[in-house]
Amino acid sequence: MIGSKRFRLLFLVVLLLSGTFLFAQSNEQKALEARRASLQKEIAEMNRLLSEEKEEKGTVLEQMEALDQKINVRQELIRVTNRQSNLLNRQINTNVRSISKLREDLELLKQDYAKLIVHAYQNRSDQNRLMFLLSSENFFQALKRFQYIKQYAQHRKQQGEAIQTKTEELVRLNKDLVEQRKVKNALLEENKLAKQQLYKEITTQKELLRTIRANESRYVQIIEEKRKESRRIDREIERLIRSAIVSSNKASGSSSTTSFELTPEARALASNFSSNKGKLIWPVEKGIKSQGFGVYADKIYPGIKHQNNGVTITTNKGETARAIFEGEVVTVMTDKMGRKGVFIRHGNYISMYWNLANSYVQKGDKVAAKEELGQIYTNRFNGTTKLKFYLYQDSKKLNPEHWIYKL
């Protein structure tokens, strides 16, 4: 019986460790499933937003950029699905080993229990138990024999319960194994389809590239025009920010042209803004990031480098830009084509929303988080609706991807 106690203790320890391992795997599986669902949603949004682009002036470049992004996301989806499949494989192998061990344990328990039943049958009469007690040499021996009879009965009960528990566990593990194999097969099939779609997208990208190569001079000119326009807008944004700093500091007597002199209220707002780093809302209700922050190689001519001082978000026609945080409108800029940019100050931080068809706010307005600022401009040539979003601390450029939630 001492050996049986040790066996039960060892079984509980193994079960506890196994449960901890499976719990950790379950959490990892949930995280992978959430990431896979997010990537699938992103791909669906890309297809919906970008599939209607036609090969008009400049739109082939847009298609190349869109395809490049879709290919990157789909490759990430395939990697995540592979990780899920591998994790399931490990879980299946763990279950197979657990089932094998449970079957061995169950067989041993049944053999032990069979011996107990045989022994109980051989000593089944009440008279045998009574004689066993009465034949004791003294009271203490009789007491020990009585306790032995009780322990023996309890041990039989425990063995029966252990058999039932292990049998139920075996049934559950077998059921889990069947479900896990179904999920794994579904993931493998999904990955197969994703790879087929990836091949089609790469083929389409190559065809577009051939179209561009056939009209190389035209597209090089378009790229250069886009670079010049981008640099011009960036210079204007930086000029207006410096102007806002000088104007604000003039009232306080500060001569700084690079950083705001903050009042206690402005300092509190800036602190609140900073504490929300990584949790700020998107500047649009729906959309996808089509170009990130920083220097990047051109999709057509990798030797040409571009600089993005903010992030570009592709959204639906008719969508509006919205304030990411409470603040005050410090200026509204308008370019020669009538497109607008709204600057909002949050203490010594400035968020800027560029490429608006119109503006719902004006200089001096107080705005709340999620407040609509203006409708985003839709390009009449290619039908794309894109918001350029910038973020500054004083006159220093910040990467919005570090501040906006899951941007």
Among residues 307, 312, 304, 297, which one has the least CA distance to residue 216?
304
Helix (H) or strand (E) holding 104: helix 59-122
Among residues 116, 108, 78, 273, which one has the least CA distance to residue 193?
78
pLDDT of amino acid 327: 96
Task: Return the residue matching tokens 């950029």.
Answer: 65
86-136: pLDDT as tens digits: 777 777 777 677 767 767 766 766 676 566 565 555 554 444 555 555 566
pLDDT of amino acid 151: 65
Quickly list H helices, 215-263.
216-252
* % the chain with pLDDT above 70: 66
pLDDT band at 24 (very low <50, low <70, confident <90, very high): low
pLDDT of amino acid 17: 47
177 has a pLDDT exceeding 90: no
Q: How many CB atoms lie within 10 A of CB 31?
A: 13
309-342: pLDDT as tens digits: 999 998 888 999 999 999 999 999 998 888 999 9
Tokens of 338: 């009538």
Among residues 252, 384, 274, which one has the least CA distance to residue 318?
384
- Work out the mean pLDDT of the chain and round it to a whole number: 77
Q: How far apart are CA 230 and CA 355, in angstroms?
A: 12
Tokens of 104: 């061995």
The CATH number of 263-402, from 2.70.70.10, 2.60.120.260, 3.40.50.300, 3.40.50.2020, is 2.70.70.10
Angle at 404 between CA 399 and CA 407, to 5 degrees: 85
Residue 104 burial by CB count (10 A; 0-12/13-18/19+): exposed, middle or buried?
exposed
Which is more confident, 53 or 393?
Answer: 393
Read off the amino acid at residue 120. Answer: A
Kindly write down the DSSP assignment for every residue of 13-77, as one continuous string: HHHHHHHHHHHHHHHHHHHHHHHHHHHHHHHHHHHHHHTT--SSTTHHHHHHHHHHHHHHHHHHH
Start-to-end CA distance of the chain, whole Å, equals 62
Mean predicted confidence (pLDDT) in 378-403? 89
Helix (H) or strand (E) holding 155: helix 139-214
**Contact by Cβ (8 Å): 99, 177:** yes
Which is more confident, 71 or 318?
Answer: 318
Domain map (residue ranges) of the chain: 2-214, 263-402
Among residues 314, 250, 240, 244, which one has the least CA distance to residue 282?
314
**Contact by Cβ (8 Å): 240, 343:** yes
- Is the whole-model pTM more than 0.75? no
pLDDT band at 19 (very low <50, low <70, confident <90, very high): low
216-260: pLDDT as tens digits: 666 677 777 777 888 888 889 999 999 999 988 887 788 888 999
Q: How far apart are CA 80 and CA 191, in angstroms?
A: 10
pLDDT band at 150 (very low <50, low <70, confident <90, very high): low
- How does DSSP classify residue 370? T
pLDDT of amino acid 53: 45
Q: How far apart are CA 209 and CA 207, in angstroms?
A: 5
Q: Give the least confident one: 131-140, 207-216, 270-279.
A: 131-140
Which is more confident, 110 or 407?
Answer: 407
